[in-house]
Structure 1
Amino acid sequence: MPVINSIAALAPEMKTWRRHLHAHPELNFDCHQTAAFITERLKAFGITDIHGGIATSGIVAIIDSGVPGPTIGLRADIDALPILEATGAAHASTIPGKMHACGHDGHTTMLLGAAKYLAETRNFKGRVALIFQPAEEDGGGGEVMVQEGAMDRFDIERVFAIHNVPGAPEGAFFTTPGPIMAAVDTVTVDITGKGGHGAYPQETIDPIPPAIAIAQAFGTIVSRNNRSLDDLVVSVTQIHSGTASNVTPDTAMLNGTVRTFDPVVQDMVERRMQEIVAGHAAAFNVEAKLTYERGYPATINDPDQTAFAVQVAREVVGDAAVVDDASKEMGAEDFAYMLQARPGAYLFLGAGEGAGLHHPQFDFNDDIAPIGASLFARLVETANPA
């Protein structure tokens, strides 16, 4: 059961769709032109049961086989990133400061390719829910779609998604049961001291030394408070303070990210950060406030659905091109919310050599689109055979 011939034959058309999407990126929930393009394509495929405006600009489109059976969900993210493109491609972004630097244009194209095939063949029982989701990069569009009832409203039983991976072998699939992407939290510490002349530090309460000390102490959470076998990343990524060489500032701010898989570890990190900030505030005689914002939860694949997806992937690309015990990634993904609502699996698809994700020179590899589309289609036909 290799790549589907009729989908392979779609490759030139899929490339045209993808490059149109790449040239017209939109951010967050404001993906209305993208949604209009998707809707136009779906209608051209003969799909009429289309529901827009979910999570502002998201779409759920239903393909009904006409034979009773369960509904399987297939999800693609549709938003871009606030990055100035540097590919120099003929199809480069026409909107300065916005670009598809993560391949969501390709993910959308893969789902459109599968949609065209499934709408034409309908060689399955039950229904397919095509989920086109905005605001994956920022805003949690997946959570909003779930909150607005997408899983319940369309009676989705299980759900799957694919993400491209530059640098991984082209056309190979990677996944693992259980946690595959980390939870992501954002940490901000605001420190208030007393500013003054840099020549008279005794008359000031300098916020910079406690900012540096807190940043260093946060690093010890990983090395001294966490069990070494439990995955944890704590990264301080910003420290801002001061405006001149001879002025002690009033305030300092530091910011960073925490990545975990286990809620127990997540709770420990937040508790230790509160203790560290309070202790350093007292030691340095400053006021300090920690803001700990929990973001996307860990993306956790259902073991049974992962085994099923692996089986189908092997039928599409062969045993040697499928890794079923891939390492967990510390990046985050709001497909996690859909996996909290329904069993399913998240898979990576190798894109071959090229610039990495979120890089100004990234461009999706159009050659892998038929492979992803074939997996989407075969998941449906294998899960609910006619």
Structure 2
Amino acid sequence: MSPTEPRLIASLVEQAPGLARIRRDIHAHPELCFEEVRTADVVARQLTEWGIPIHRGLGKTGVVGIIKSGTSDRAIGLRADMDALPMTEHNRFEHASRHPGKMHACGHDGHTAMLLAAAQHLAKHRDFDGTVYLVFQPAEEGGGGAREMMRDGLFERFPMQAIFGMHNWPGMAAGQFAVCKGPTMASSNEFHITITGKGSHAALPHNGVDPVPIACQMVMAFQTIVTRNKRPTDAAVISVTMIHTGEATNVVPDSCVIQGTVRTFTLDVLDMIEQRMRTVAEHTCTAFGASCEFDFKRNYPPTVNHPDEAEFVRGVMQQVVGKADTLEFQPTMGAEDFSFFLLEKPGAYFVIGNGDGDHREQGHGLGPCNLHNPNYDFNDTLIPLGATLWVRLAERWLAVQK
């Protein structure tokens, strides 16, 4: 039970059922990264209906809404992601995905609905002095849509002093928010290592160079990078998630492929890990008479909140739900492409509690209501709360002279 009743904007509560229907329509028609044509059409149609000028095409399928009021040249960006995940939904309720292999399992449908609700209110009332840019972003799930919108001139065409992003968080009670200063989510990186040895008969291993024990040595050595090459207070994860080799039980294979992910909160630690992994991989192969191809791909940088903006968000959260329901976010090793925005602009990324799944209707799957789970569904009761936070954040930001 929430210690304090949220201070919801009455009009947002009244319009919530209509936005919930839009959310469920988007949920039923999920689209993967850079394929969000229908979703973008829904967003653009609603914004246009409410008299909000729009710009389309940034990051292929992105939509930017523009709400101006007064004479100030100050501006703020509010971001919602729109894409779904390539997975099959287990829920069977009416608004379940109609496209096998595609599902809104991360709540981007809800993020879109919350920002649309805020847009409707902001456009109608305009109790601020400046500009609110509504950034409906494609391709968060692995496509780097934030980076692509920036490459297409997001910040040049729509100059803003700061940008903010919100994500739902299962397991945290509905009616609560959380934010933290500094690192919030980790960098996301992949490695692909090919060990080339020399195949032989499994009964005559001395005639070949077996890549399998080399791979085993390498995997164990990688963990010493985490435990012995970085400071214990610096967070990092090296996870080998795939090892592929061999075709028959009586054959020593020619090669072995190792793949996995690296997560860090700082680029300095990431630089060190990449360099050490390369050294370990190449020298281990040399020691055993094999050769090595080492490929390291950096996907998303760490998501690092700017201190002043994070504290600003915290103050708005306390205004909406009170101090008791404004929590300190515990950084996670998950990743977010909102990180690209924060490399260029001040801002903060924060979360809204999605509850434990009690909101799900008859026909939901039997599994947990966690992110990236086939039984997940966004909690529609969050729409007026999240929208209230967006409205108050924009109004307060554009009322304060910094």
Partner of 2:356: 353
C-alpha separation in 1, matches of 2:8 and 2:305: 24
C-alpha separation in 1, matches of 2:238 and 2:108: 27
Matched, 1:376 2:361: no
C-alpha separation in 1, matches of 2:91 and 2:287: 50
C-alpha separation in 2, matches of 1:121 and 1:67: 16
Matched, 1:180 2:184: yes
1:111 aligned to which of 82, 92, 115: 115
Residue identity matched to 1:133: Q
Partner of 2:364: none
Alignment of 1:181-260 (within 5 A): 181-260=185-264
C-alpha separation in 2, matches of 1:154 and 1:326: 30
C-alpha separation in 2, matches of 1:284 and 1:193: 9
Residue identity matched to 1:344: G
Give the secondary structure class of the aligned counterpart of 1:234: strand
- Asked if the contact 1:123–1:385 (Cα under 8 Å) also holds between the matched residues in 2, the reply is no
- Asked if the contact 2:267–2:302 (Cα under 8 Å) also holds between the matched residues in 1, the reply is no
1:43 aligned to which of 42, 45, 48: 48
Give the superposition deviation at 1:326: 2.2
- Asked if the contact 2:85–2:105 (Cα under 8 Å) also holds between the matched residues in 1, the reply is yes
Matched, 1:318 2:322: yes
C-alpha separation in 1, matches of 2:105 and 2:248: 36
Residue identity matched to 1:381: E
Matched, 1:330 2:333: yes
C-alpha separation in 1, matches of 2:382 and 2:79: 17
C-alpha separation in 1, matches of 2:330 and 2:196: 42
Question: Unaligned stretches of 5+ in structure 2?
Answer: 1-5, 358-368
- Asked if the contact 1:69–1:384 (Cα under 8 Å) also holds between the matched residues in 2, the reply is no
Residue identity matched to 1:329: T
Give the secondary structure class of the aligned counterpart of 1:372: helix
Give the secondary structure class of the aligned counterpart of 1:64: strand
1:171 aligned to which of 172, 175, 195: 175
C-alpha separation in 2, matches of 1:175 and 1:243: 49
Give the superposition deviation at 1:340: 1.2
Give the superposition deviation at 1:67: 3.2
* Cα displacement string for residues 4-29 of structure 1 (whole angstroms, at most 9, x for unaligned residues): 11011112111101100101111111
Partner of 2:379: 365
TM-score by length of 2: 0.93
Partner of 2:61: 57
The percent identity for this pair of structures is 46
Which one is further off, 106-115 or 195-204? 195-204
Partner of 2:306: 302
C-alpha separation in 1, matches of 2:251 and 2:371: 40
Give the secondary structure class of the aligned counterpart of 2:99: coil
Give the secondary structure class of the aligned counterpart of 1:374: helix
Give the superposition deviation at 1:66: 4.2
CA RMSD of aligned residues (A): 1.3
Matched, 1:12 2:26: no
C-alpha separation in 2, matches of 1:195 and 1:171: 60
C-alpha separation in 1, matches of 2:253 and 2:38: 46
Residue identity matched to 1:168: M
C-alpha separation in 2, matches of 1:239 and 1:282: 20
C-alpha separation in 2, matches of 1:224 and 1:298: 22
Give the superposition deviation at 1:198: 2.1
Give the superposition deviation at 1:383: 1.3
Matched, 1:79 2:83: yes
Residue identity matched to 2:370: G
Give the superposition deviation at 1:69: 3.5
C-alpha separation in 1, matches of 2:194 and 2:86: 26
- Asked if the contact 1:101–1:357 (Cα under 8 Å) also holds between the matched residues in 2, the reply is yes
- Asked if the contact 2:70–2:128 (Cα under 8 Å) also holds between the matched residues in 1, the reply is no
* Cα displacement string for residues 286-324 of structure 1 (whole angstroms, at most 9, x for unaligned residues): 11111111121111111111111111111111111001x
C-alpha separation in 2, matches of 1:89 and 1:251: 47
4+ long deviations beyond 4 Å:
none
Give the superposition deviation at 1:199: 2.3
- Asked if the contact 2:86–2:101 (Cα under 8 Å) also holds between the matched residues in 1, the reply is yes
Number of positions where the alignment pairs a residue of Structure 1 with one of Structure 2: 384
C-alpha separation in 1, matches of 2:255 and 2:91: 40
- Asked if the contact 1:316–1:374 (Cα under 8 Å) also holds between the matched residues in 2, the reply is yes
C-alpha separation in 1, matches of 2:79 and 2:65: 11
- Asked if the contact 1:74–1:128 (Cα under 8 Å) also holds between the matched residues in 2, the reply is yes
C-alpha separation in 2, matches of 1:384 and 1:272: 46
- Asked if the contact 1:26–1:79 (Cα under 8 Å) also holds between the matched residues in 2, the reply is yes
